[in-house]
A = this chain, B = another copy of it.
Amino acid sequence: MFSKACEYAIKAMVFIQYKSQQNETTNLSEIAEAIDSPAAFTAKILQQLRKSDLLESIMGVKGGFRILENKQISLKEIIITIDGNGIFSHCVLGLKACSAANPCPMHHKYAIVRQEMERIMQKTFLVDLANQLILKKISLK
């Protein structure tokens, strides 16, 4: 479904959101530990997210990552940053020319799934998921 990079990105962002809500910045090793991901690879992903302005980084001792309080970040934004918008737009069968006017065999049937996926990712925000974490209702490992 999503690339590994994207899975890590979502999990990392949920964790950073969780920490940020408690007014704490968190650093790479803490994040990697929390989401059980390879640290160096996770660092690359965090850079991408930072460049897309989805999070803030602080360099130096006591540095780390955080999400600004006023930010409302949807999963869709993260997915598009890391994996591009292919999952929301590309043909299920990978046909470049596929469209409503020139549909592939699956086009119409699959439209519902794609639409529902987009809807869910668009209206699920990091805050929602971080709150679940606080309630210990969910796991990131």
Given the complex, which residues of B lie within 8 Å of A4, measured CB to CB? 94
Q: Would you call B120 and A109 a contact (CB within 8 A)?
A: yes
Contact with B along A66-104 (1 / 0, CB 8 A): 000000000100000000000100101111011000111
CB distance from A106 to the nearest CB of B (A): 7
Known contacts A92-B1, A116-B113: does B102 contact A124 (CB below 8 Å)?
no
A129 contacts chain B at the CB level, 8 A cutoff: yes
Nearest-neighbor residue (CB-CB) of A75 within chain B? B106
Contact with B along A51-67 (1 / 0, CB 8 A): 00000000000000000
Given the complex, which residues of B lie within 8 Å of A97, measured CB to CB? 139, 141
